[in-house]
């Protein structure tokens, strides 16, 4: 991103942000991604009639204002590049409006939308990745439209748990590196070197490099990357590319070590997305701890879960502490490790389903990516909850690195 | 007397209360004070994350932060209220409170204060409007005028 770029115009449709004291945090995140917040103007009469027009009756005037503002975007009365919808966490009425307004804009425009429920503890740092994805989707549509990797490029995905790297040549992966994230830079160097070694290339052969994940800026600066991009756009691109579903709608699910992403994609470009990071019980970490407790390698947990039945285990908490305790109690009560592994997968899938998939429109194909997608019990649990087939593409654990390598090939001609 | 008005940003109600010698307790005063107070807080309302925490005085942590933040602003108005005029279902241009849950809580707390309270529907035509103003003026006249400070 350069400062000479025209700022992206993001419409803020919110209720309660100002009164929660977090508007400066929103403004700060927006400023960091070279965007400006706009508040669509509406007439009082439009607020008074919006309930009838949209068919949704609400008690709070600020929510009526939100709906009227959404209408002014849909009808083209105001021009914006992206929309940020946010309401107070735990407000039932606002949750319904947030969801319906998001759907209304998504069905009637191609403007990217993100929704978020905040508390007074929401910070700019929490919002930054989301805003970055939102502005990238709005700003770099031509880059995101890229469907084939060209030349020799590499992508590094610095995750909270592992660092992944791929080297690609002429639309094929020719080298891979996968190491635990210990020291961000050293882990990235190691993964990068491993991938180059496998590919039989050196740094000077790499024509473009892309970085993503938590350490993207640090590694990007260190290795002089051409592209430093958040994981929402990169993972969506990597997912539809590896699953060979680049055209039409798709839903990408990524259960990470620290947070989860649910992304609604159209032609490889994210439309709506959510990013959860409040509860560790809904993350890969929960499965890692379960595997440890069961005394099996994390890579074996999925196969174990496939043999078990989650219904045989009574779990009374999603929490990473009490949920594990619950699993231990079930083991003590005579449940099999297979059933406990299945219950752990079901618990994570259920949280994803309850807390995130309600925020995006789930459209087939559903593509699960990230290292956790390889824990077979997890996609199976998601399939059972969604009652549809889940695709786990080859190299699902390298999704971010592949997406970064693919997108960075757009920088070769420069 | 100090008269709480609802909607709390209604200029018409605020004006009526003043005309009858009372002091209106209106949201404009609280927000005005927040905006004029110098500091590094957030413009334009200067509500900070500390306000929703203060709002815990009125509602538990599972209540949305926007409700608690608003309650923090209502606190000085509710504390001082000696009487209240509440207009039910007004049109937006008469005065507007953004959050329905906050409004329910404020109205509930007002009832609990056992202060003189006039509750009336927003008028639908001119005849009702005349009666509306008459009822408010009679109510305000019945209140002891605010003592002039010497």
Residues A82 and A113: beta-carbon distance below 8 Å: yes
Q: How far apart are CA A19 and CA A38, in angstroms?
A: 18
Q: Distance from A17 to chain B by nearest Cα, in Å?
A: 7
> What is the model's pLDDT at position A278?
57
What would you report as the CA-atom Rg of chain B, rounded to the nearest whole angstrom?
16
In this prediction, residue A275 carries a pLDDT of 80
* pLDDT for the residue numbered B40: 58
Contact yes or no for B47 and A21 at CB 8 A:
yes
Domain spans of chain B?
Answer: 2-142
What is the reported pLDDT for A206?
96
Return the CATH architecture of domain A8-139. 3-Layer(aba) Sandwich (3.40)
Output the CA torsion A397→A401→A403→A408 (10° steps): -170
pLDDT band at A223 (very low <50, low <70, confident <90, very high): very high
Closest Cα partner for A403 from A252, A182, A185, A179?
A: A252
Q: Which residues 324-383 of A are in CB contact (within 8 Å) with B?
A: none
CA atoms of A247 and A266, how far apart (whole Å): 7
Task: Find the CB nearest B69 among A20, A60, A89.
Answer: A20
- The answer to whether the Cβ–Cβ distance between B93 and A44 falls below 8 Å is yes
Identify the sign of the CA torsion A254, A256, A262, A263.
negative
Contact B98 A62 (CB under 8 A): yes
B46 or A19: which leads in pLDDT = A19
pLDDT bracket for residue B96 (50, 70, 90): confident
Min Cα separation B21/chain A (Å)? 31
Q: Which superfamily does CATH assign the domain made up of A152-232+399-411 to?
A: ATPase, nucleotide binding domain (3.30.420.40)
| Residue intervals in chain A for CATH 3.30.420.40 | 152-232+399-411, 245-392
Q: Are strands A162-169 and A152-158 parallel, antiparallel or unpaired?
A: antiparallel
Contact A90 B64 (CB under 8 A): yes
Q: Token pair 């509860």 is at which residue?
A: A279
DSSP secondary structure letter of residue A296: S
Nearest CA in chain B to A90: B64
Give the gap in angstroms from C-alpha A91 to the nearest C-alpha of chain B. 6
Per-residue DSSP letters for B97-134?
-S-HHHHHHHHHHHHHTT--EEEEEPPSSHHHHHHHHH
Mean pLDDT of A24-44: 93
Average pLDDT over residues B58-84: 95
Task: Assign A114 to helix, strand or coil.
Answer: strand
**Each residue of B72-88: pLDDT tens digit?**
999 999 999 999 999 99
pLDDT value of residue A217: 93
pLDDT in tens, A274-314: 887 657 777 888 888 889 988 999 889 999 999 999 988 88
pLDDT, average across residues A90-97: 93
Would you place residue A2 in the very low, low, confident or very high pLDDT band (cuts 50, 70, 90)?
very low
Report the CATH architecture of A245-392: 2-Layer Sandwich (3.30)
Contact B64 A16 (CB under 8 A): yes
Q: Which residue of A has its CA nearest to B74?
A: A19
Pairing of strands A162-169, A172-180: antiparallel
Q: Span A97-119, mean pLDDT?
A: 91
Mutant choice from A14, A18, A19, A60 vs B, greatest count of B C-beta within 10 A: A19
pLDDT of residue A1: 47
DSSP state at residue B5:
E
Mean pLDDT of B55-81: 95
Residues of chain A with CATH 3.40.50.11900: 8-139
Residue B150 distance to chain A (closest CA, Å): 38
Rg (C-alpha) for chain A, rounded Å, is 22
A45-54, A205-214, A279-288, A389-398: least confidently modelled range: A279-288
Looking at residue A79, its pLDDT comes to 94
pLDDT, one tens digit per residue, over B108-135 is 999 999 999 999 999 999 999 999 999 9
Across the range A160-172, mean pLDDT stands at 93
For B88-107, what is the mean pLDDT?
92
Contact A116, A126 (CB under 8 A): no
Q: Averaged over A354-362, what is the pLDDT?
A: 80
């Amino acid at each position: 991103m350069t400062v000479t770029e025209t700022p992206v115009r993001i419409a803020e449709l919110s209720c309660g942000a100002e009164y929660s004291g977090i508007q400066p945090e929103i403004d700060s995140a927006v400023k960091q991604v070279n965007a400006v917040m706009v508040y669509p103007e509406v007439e009082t009469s439009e607020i008074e009639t919006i309930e009838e027009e949209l068919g949704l009756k609400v008690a709070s005037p600020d929510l009526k204002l939100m709906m009227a503002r959404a209408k002014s975007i849909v009808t083209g009365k105001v021009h914006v590049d992206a929309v940020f919808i946010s309401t107070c966490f735990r407000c039932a009425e606002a949750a319904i409006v947030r969801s319906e307004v998001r759907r209304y804009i998504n069905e009637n425009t191609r403007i990217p939308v993100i929704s978020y429920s905040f508390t007074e503890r929401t910070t700019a740092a929490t919002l930054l990745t989301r805003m970055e994805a939102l502005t990238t989707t709005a700003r770099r549509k031509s880059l995101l439209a890229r469907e084939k990797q060209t030349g020799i490029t590499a992508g590094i995905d610095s995750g909270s748990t592992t660092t992944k790297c791929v080297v690609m040549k002429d639309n094929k992966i020719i080298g891979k590196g996968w190491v635990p994230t210990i020291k961000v830079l050293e882990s990235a160097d190691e993964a990068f070197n491993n991938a180059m070694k496998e590919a039989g290339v050196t740094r000077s052969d790499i024509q473009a490099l892309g970085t993503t994940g938590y350490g993207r800026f640090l590694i990007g600066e260190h290795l002089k990357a051409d592209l430093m991009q958040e994981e929402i756009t990169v993972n969506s691109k990597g997912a539809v590319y590896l699953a060979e579903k680049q055209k039409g709608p798709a839903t990408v699910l990524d259960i990470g070590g620290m947070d989860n992403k649910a992304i609604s994609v159209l032609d490889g470009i994210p439309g709506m997305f959510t990013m959860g990071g409040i509860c560790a019980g809904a993350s890969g970490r929960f499965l890692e701890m379960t595997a440890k407790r069961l005394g099996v390698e994390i890579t074996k947990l999925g196969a174990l879960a496939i043999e078990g039945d989650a219904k045989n285990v009574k779990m009374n908490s999603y929490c990473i502490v009490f949920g594990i305790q619950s699993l231990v109690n079930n083991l003590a009560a005579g449940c099999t490790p297979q059933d406990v592994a299945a219950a752990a997968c079901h618990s994570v899938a259920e949280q994803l389903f309850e807390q995130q998939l309600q925020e995006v429109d789930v459209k087939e194909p559903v593509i699960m990516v990230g290292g956790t997608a390889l824990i077979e019990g997890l996609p199976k649990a998601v399939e059972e909850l969604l009652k549809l087939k889940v695709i786990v593409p080859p190299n699902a654990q390298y999704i971010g690195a592949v997406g970064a390598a693919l997108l960075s090939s757009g920088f070769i001609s420069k | 007397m100090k008269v709480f008005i609802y909607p709390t940003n209604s200029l018409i109600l605020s004006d009526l209360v003043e005309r009858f010698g009372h002091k209106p307790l209106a949201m404009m005063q609280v927000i005005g004070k927040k905006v004029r107070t110098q500091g590094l807080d957030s413009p334009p309302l200067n509500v900070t994350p500390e306000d929703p925490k203060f709002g815990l005085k009125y509602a538990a942590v599972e209540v949305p932060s926007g409700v608690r933040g608003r309650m923090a602003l209502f606190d000085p108005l509710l504390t001082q209220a000696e009487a209240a005029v509440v207009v039910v279902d007004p049109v937006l241009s008469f005065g507007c409170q953004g959050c329905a849950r906050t409004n329910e809580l404020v109205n509930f707390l007002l009832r609990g204060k056992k202060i003189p309270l006039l509750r009336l529907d927003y008028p639908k035509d001119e005849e009702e409007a005349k009666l509306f103003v008459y009822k408010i003026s009679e109510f305000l006249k019945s209140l002891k005028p605010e003592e002039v400070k010497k």
